[in-house]
Structure 1
Amino acid sequence: MVKRQFPNPVELAKLMKFKAPELNGKKRRLEGALTIYDLKAIAKRRTPKAAFDYTDGAAEGELSLARARQAFEDIEFHPSILRDASTVDTTTTVLGGTSALPFGIAPTGFTRLMHTEGEIAGAGAAAAAGIPFTLSTLGTTSIEDVKAANPHGRNWFQLYVMRQREISYGLIERAAAAGFDTLMFTVDTPVAGARLRDKRNGFSIPPQLTAGTIINAIPRPWWWFDFLTTPPLEFASLASTGGTVGELLDSAMDPSINYDDLQIIRNMWPGRIVVKGVQNLEDSKRLAALGVDGILLSNHGGRQLDRAPIPFHLLPEVVREVGNDVEVMVDTGIMNGADIVASMALGAKFTLIGRAYLYGLMAGGREGVDRTIQILSDQLLRTMKLLEVTSIGELEPKHVTQLQRLAPRAVSPAAAAAVPAKVSRTSPAPRRPAVRKTRSQA
């Protein structure tokens, strides 16, 4: 029998301490967000549909994005035991400099459309966290204003080689003069991908008022107040080039760019150069042989070619083949600090976050971006401690297994014999690294 007694009022009082309510609505919302998906939910509530869908959406059936995110979930960690993990160092070195965390902020276009603070919020948060910030050619804050927001931190510039080459060359000169230390030469946009959500929403820059947009804006007056009471939305670094937004976009996508353009820009740029949008081993080898400083395995966040290769799946093979010659980085689909840990364990030199940053921006401006970085940092630190590693350098392939979900379909001997000789003489598709099957697939 359990002996019962009347509660002791003194002891009961110790258990009845209530947390003081948080009266600041933004702070309360952000503190309640424990994951990037929580920030995404807040962002969706607070942002008009067209702007949110521009960030959240991808190309066509959005298969590339879904597969990239699934790939990070389809991993298995292998922790060590009985190792002192009381102190963990998340600092890493990339492209000749340090970063307090193994991730930086990726380049994003139209950023002030998501929240009026735009790139200023991202650059300021990156400065406070000690990580790099990347400004897009299609950013809505100028090169010089980003430098002012992050005067002592690491600023990178993402470059589209435009049809009018002189425009791109001018941007290179301005970024160099502002002290940006790395240039990201983007190679996966010969034409724009088919972003169907934007077409269905009638998306435009600046947003056009229709009956639908007005109805959608009624529960989001704060967004429209910010939009209408701040400077007009434009591509700040391109404002002096003239032309409409549509004309600038068309000019930014040039299917004629080639390795000669890479060489010209390499000769112009005084800092480190990274080729962004690499999606196979053969191109990785050629770029390494040409002496670029880094390659970014990326399918543009799933926003260009749908059914594109999964960057995280490409990572082990590319690192194995060229990792000693060039710094290999990865993006697309990162939504958790554990995704970053897995990437670093499989040989990535660095990672970049795009949508995760924008979800935080839409959820709460600068404070929302700070919250994004804090969430990812906490998850990353906790994962490293549970793996019982004390530094980024201790992460190795032995800590991660990529589980198999999608794999090339085997061709039967009979089917192979039926292939015409002209086709059968082509080179076979590259094989993926060996992966472990889940029990349900075994």
Structure 2
Amino acid sequence: MVDSRRIHSIEGLRQAARRRLPKAIFDFFDGGAEDELTLADNRSAFGRVKLAPRCLVNVAEVGLDTDVVGGPSALPLAVAPTGAVGFGRHGGDIAIARAAAEAGVPYTLSTSATASIEQIADAAPGRLWFQAYVLKDKEMLNSLLFRAKSAGYEALMITVDLPVGGKRERDFRNHLSFPFRYTARNLLDFARRPAWAMRMLCHGVPVMENLKGLEAPSASATKLASSVGRNYDPSFDWEALERLRDQWPRKLIVKGVMRADDAVRLAAMGCDGMVVSNHGGRQLDGAAATLEMLPEVVRAVGGRVPVLVDGGVRRGADILKARALGAQGVLVGRATLWGAVADGQRGAAQALAILRDELQRSMQLCGVRDINGISRELLFERQEPDGAEYGLGDRVTVPSL
């Protein structure tokens, strides 16, 4: 049995979750599209940004509280929407939502969660956002929005980078689909994790509560593998988003922004926040890393709209770097997911505690007393002269604002 309090990094939680899960389930959460170039680059982009710490600053007390999309947050962070969490651990969605509420940060419920809109609202009365995929079935989509409004969700997050599902080849290889289609390959895989398999037998296979009624007709597991996106509307466009903006009376956050021109148009439309996101490298392989696109989007909106960023956040220093590049905060998805899979609510809380401790420590080591003191001045940026050659150890220039 895992005691996540003895784990001191997000990677440690990831490895604990890996030991607990069948390969197919772990790969579904961990993997990306095609060759997974973007998946890897999201993470490595943080390593390409270097810090220039100040010294001799009184950092005995450090303030982490801030504003995230028009409301208070104990960290410059919100929990990202993560689908199918219950296939990793029963009750995982509620565990993460409760951990977020206790930590004082917003939580985003995925359309494809294994807990309903109402279950989360009853179990975790914190700052709640509902992430909606744009379904082909508009009657069901409208019903989801009505339910989220009735349950008190303060914001709607529309994901715009999934007109079709990405080609997630790990799922093909593992014969994984939702709903499950059993094959000799994945049954053998599941049997190798008897504790996980027994939980499934005792508690039943989870369902995506908010998508009941949209299940695809029976087909082979190979055809259904990487089935994410089959119910989503590829015709959704700017006019449709404007109609949805008019329909939803509360905050609207648009997730999946990767270009300055799109950001300008969203700001003009009146959205309340945007997320620079490539869906964690799970959609278009070869897309730029989100951290690299962040300064361009921040510059384009000019402070009119809060900008968040996701993808590859695994350390508290990553949050500091994102703030220094202009983000109001970050979304974290896999970090709390790994914690919940490893150790339920305690594990999700540990993931947030790890990031909090690392952010505070990084701020102290950089000579920063509060979140608003994080600026681009903390980044090491050397302009290379024309024709100069630099060896290993010289940094890649951070994209300019």
Instruction: Give TM-score, length-normalised by structure 1.
Output: 0.82
Give SS of 1:253's match.
coil
| Residues 274, 294 of structure 1: 8 Å contact kept | yes
Give SS of 2:2's match.
helix
Q: What does residue range 210-225 of structure 1 map to in structure 2 within 5 Å?
A: 210-225=183-198
CA distance in 1, matches of 2:77, 2:372: 14
Aligned partner letter, 2:34: E
1:32-60 superposed Cα distances (whole Å, 9 cap, x missing partner)? 32211111111111101110000000000
Q: What does residue range 63-78 of structure 1 map to in structure 2 within 5 Å?
A: 63-78=37-52
State the shift of 1:218 in Å. Answer: 3.9
Matched, 1:303 2:303: no
State the shift of 1:206 in Å. Answer: 4.0
CA distance in 2, matches of 1:350, 1:212: 41
Matched, 1:31 2:5: yes
Q: What does residue range 263-342 of structure 1 map to in structure 2 within 5 Å?
A: 263-342=242-321
Q: In the superposition, relative to structure 1, how do residues 26 and 250 fare at CA in structure 2: closer, same or farther (>3 Å)?
A: closer
1:232-255 superposed Cα distances (whole Å, 9 cap, x missing partner)? 421201225565596995553221
CA distance in 2, matches of 1:70, 1:252: 32
State the shift of 1:155 in Å. Answer: 0.6
- Compute the RMSD of aligned alpha carbons: 2.2
Q: Which structure exhibits the higher relative contact order, with contacts defined as CA atoms closer than 8 Å and separated by 6 or more residues? A: 2
Matched, 1:127 2:101: yes
CA distance in 1, matches of 2:392, 2:364: 25
Aligned partner letter, 1:358: L
1:41 aligned partner: 15
Q: Which of 25, 42, 45 in structure 2 is aligned with 1:51?
A: 25
Q: Which of 177, 185, 190 in structure 2 is aligned with 1:204?
A: 177
CA distance in 2, matches of 1:150, 1:33: 25
How many residues were matched structurally?
A: 384
| Residues 164, 251 of structure 1: 8 Å contact kept | no
Give SS of 2:112's match.
coil
| Unmatched 5+ stretches in structure 2 | 219-223, 384-389, 397-401
Aligned partner letter, 2:138: R
| Residues 38, 288 of structure 2: 8 Å contact kept | yes
CA distance in 2, matches of 1:316, 1:58: 24
State the shift of 1:109 in Å. Answer: 1.2
Q: What does residue range 132-281 of structure 1 map to in structure 2 within 5 Å?
A: 132-151=106-125, 153-240=126-213, 244=217, 250-281=229-260
Larger radius of gyration: 1
| Unmatched 5+ stretches in structure 1 | 1-24, 405-435
Q: In the superposition, relative to structure 1, how do residues 214 and 328 fare at CA in structure 2: closer, same or farther (>3 Å)?
A: same
Matched, 1:385 2:364: yes
| Residues 53, 367 of structure 2: 8 Å contact kept | yes
Matched, 1:371 2:371: no
CA distance in 2, matches of 1:272, 1:366: 28
Give SS of 2:50's match.
strand
1:112-164 superposed Cα distances (whole Å, 9 cap, x missing partner)? 1111122111111111111111011111110000101112x101011111112
| Residues 76, 403 of structure 1: 8 Å contact kept | no
CA distance in 2, matches of 1:288, 1:385: 34
| Residues 339, 347 of structure 2: 8 Å contact kept | yes
1:378-429 superposed Cα distances (whole Å, 9 cap, x missing partner)? 111110111111111110011124799xxxxxxxxxxxxxxxxxxxxxxxxx
| Residues 163, 251 of structure 1: 8 Å contact kept | no
1:299-330 superposed Cα distances (whole Å, 9 cap, x missing partner)? 00000000102111111222122131111110
Aligned partner letter, 1:369: A
Instruction: Give TM-score, length-normalised by structure 2.
Output: 0.90
Matched, 1:84 2:58: yes
State the shift of 1:26 in Å. Answer: 2.2
